[in-house]
Amino acid sequence: MKNYICTLIVLLSCNKGFAQQTPAVDQNKAILIIGATAHIGDGSLIENSALGIREGKIVEITTSDLVKNQYDKTINAEGQHLYPGFIAANATVGMVEIGAVRATNDLNEIGEYLPHIRTIIAYNAESKVVESLRPNGILSAQIVPTRGVISGSSSIVQFDAWNWEDAAIITDEGLHINWPRAYTSSRRSSTAELKYNQKSYEEKIKSLDQFISEAFAYNQTQSKTKHLPFAAMKNAFTGNQTVYLHADGHREIVDGIQFLKEHQVKKIVLVGGKEAYLTTDFLTEHDIPVIVSRPHRLPTLEDQDIKLPFKMAKILMDAGLTITIDVSGRMERMNTRNLPFYAGTFAAYGVPKEKAVQLITLNAAKILGVADRLGSLTVGKDATLFLSLGDALDMRTNQLTHAFINGKNISLETHQTELWKRYMEKYSRK
């Protein structure tokens, strides 16, 4: 018993020492940031910029010699780079803290058709994983459900909050559908021979068709009996909610989009799209934005160009498509912090640098429906932005000095920086 009590005391002490950062206080002074190279987020630059923040909003963006307003505080950012806060699309941060501990895992629900499931109420604003994203400039994200055929609804959050209510920017903005796979492999290897499972594929589509048809009919009537899954589909039919189609293969992409169009779904976004390069004409014709798979992976098939994942953004952009970056995959919550470096990889393979910045700022904001508040350094938008000593898309030079969410100057300290300082001190002693 004595040993148990001692262990508990030690654990509580450690938890207190490495607690999540307290949210910043509201902005009470007007702030001017001068001298930085401002990366606007729309593909343009302003050298020697001046950006004014007042009451959580951007009130001025110009050059340093054209400042007109008076400010309470001035930040001299000469030689630094100013960016809009990066936005992570299709993320699951805040949904799982420790994968092996069931009590910290809110990622999956039981069932196949779950449009009424809301990720926002399970989002943990005090997650240490969330905290670790901010020093790389990722200040907001789309939190999505997973698994099942219809997984549920996603929401957009910012990363400086006590709880999910404070974190929420838009709740239930999208509905997520995982399209059935037409081809499967008998082996675990990604290069194994693929087999077309026609019967299984068609049966799954038929089942989905029946559910959506019944949901549409339900929402055309005034049923006295409440059916939560059917009722949750209403906004997808009216266009008030985006439907995110998770599909990778050429056949799945085309079949899925045609299916949704036939069912009168008005707003569609493709997620993943590993073979989207084969369907560019089709996607352009139907004006389908793409949340493209992250580039740090191998191609799906062994006969594909080994560098295809690196080139994907350039191919889709040249076709005229609006794209941002998907952060899902192996160790996706921890790897979400690498979002700016995914954009940097796309820049190394043909995407102009400022357009690469746009991938994870204004493009992401447009696709997720928050472009009126986030995504660019524009007058009237939220002052969610950061300063870096160097190029934010390069892991060698992305070193933040300041970050703001809604005009609040947030802490950049994390569990990792505390450990770094602790052991730097330890090993620097003589």
pLDDT value for 103: 77
Q: Are 168 and 154 in contact (CB under 8 A)?
A: no
Residue 316 and residue 307: Cα distance in Å, rounded? 15
Q: Are 290 and 282 in contact (CB under 8 A)?
A: no
- Within the chain, all domains assigned CATH 2.30.40.10 are found at 22-85+375-412
> How far, CA to CA in Å, does 352 sit from each of 44, 63, 341?
11, 23, 14
pLDDT at 9 over 70: no
Q: What is the pLDDT of residues 172-200, one digit of tens each?
A: 999 999 999 988 765 555 555 678 888 89
User: What average pLDDT does the segment 98-103 reach?
Assistant: 80
- Within the chain, all domains assigned CATH 3.20.20.140 are found at 86-374
**From the candidate CATH numbers 3.80.30.20, 3.20.20.480, 2.30.40.10, 3.30.1600.10, the one assigned to the domain spanning 22-85+375-412:** 2.30.40.10
pLDDT value for 187: 56
Measured in Å, how far apart are the chain's first and last C-alpha atoms?
Answer: 40
User: What average pLDDT does the segment 143-151 reach?
Assistant: 94
Pairing of strands 81-84, 86-91: unpaired
Q: What does pLDDT average to over the chain?
A: 91
Please check whether the domain covering 86-374 is classified as CATH 3.20.20.140: yes
pLDDT value for 301: 82
pLDDT at 399 over 80: yes
pLDDT at 49 over 60: yes
Cα dihedral 351, 353, 355, 356 in deg (nearest 10): 80
DSSP at 396: T
Q: What is the pLDDT of residues 315-371, one digit of tens each?
A: 999 999 999 999 998 888 889 999 999 999 999 999 999 999 999 999 999 999 999
Residue bearing tokens 């447009």: 366
Q: Are 52 and 58 in contact (CB under 8 A)?
A: yes
Q: What is the pLDDT of residues 272-320, one digit of tens each?
A: 999 999 999 999 999 999 999 999 998 888 888 999 999 999 999 999 9
pLDDT at 40 over 60: yes
User: What average pLDDT does the segment 219-244 reach?
Assistant: 91
Q: Of all helices (H) and strands (E), which one includes residue 280?
A: helix 280-285
> How far, CA to CA in Å, does 397 sit from each of 88, 307, 345?
20, 25, 14
